[in-house]
Amino acid sequence: MARKNGQRPQAVVEKQYPPRQARSAVARYESTGARDLRNHRPYFAFALACLTALATSPSIAKEVDTAAEEQAIRHVDAAWSKNLQSKNLDAVMENYAEDAAFLVPNQPIIVGKEKIRDWFKARIATPGYTATFAPTKIVVSSAGDMAYELGTFAASAQAADGSTARSVGKHLVTWEKRNGRWLVAAEAISTDSPPPPRK
């Protein structure tokens, strides 16, 4: 029963019925209204679920500019290679996640930023050491939170006999975007040189 001129249902009913009948009519009204509300709860829940699904739907989510993310990674790579060449260890390590994994030839997987730092520290300390690298392919996920990179590197160092030992190879890097920054989650490197002959 709708209100009339801003009056409560009971006030309207009391004008139309004797007091006892009015109270009975109001009780029936209130009981019916509460029952109708309970009956409609499933519909309210369904509507809320639909709205939630629409709000989180990938079609509505902001589209990621994967080309721009690729360029961002290439920018990080360029600075990273420059810092490696100049033996700036602190700047090199800024690119690695704390739980990063590093796969290098002829030894177990190196896990953790500090242990990866130790590996680079030993290489940089080698007389005549220098290294550069560049990506050849970067693929960014549609969500814009992961990417993989293929690339090549060149390194050289002074050999025991005083000559310069040079090597070239390739790398595979897995990137993750954490807190708005692209960080290396895993990296693997290997040389293109054939294995040494067996004795």
Give 177 or 22, the one with higher predicted confidence: 177
The pLDDT tens digits for 57-104 are: 554 457 999 999 999 999 999 999 999 999 999 999 999 999 999 999
Predicted pLDDT of residue 83: 97
Q: Which of 91, 114, 89, 87 is nearest to 101 (CA)?
A: 114
In this structure, what DSSP letter does residue 4 have? B
Residue with tokens 């009391």: 14
- Contacts for 14 with CB less than 8 Å, ≥ 6 apart: 22
pTM beyond 0.75, yes or no: no
Phi-psi bin for 5: left (phi > 0), alpha (psi -120 to 50), beta?
left
Q: Where does residue 46 rank: exposed (0-12), middle (13-18), buried (19+ CB within 10 A)?
A: exposed
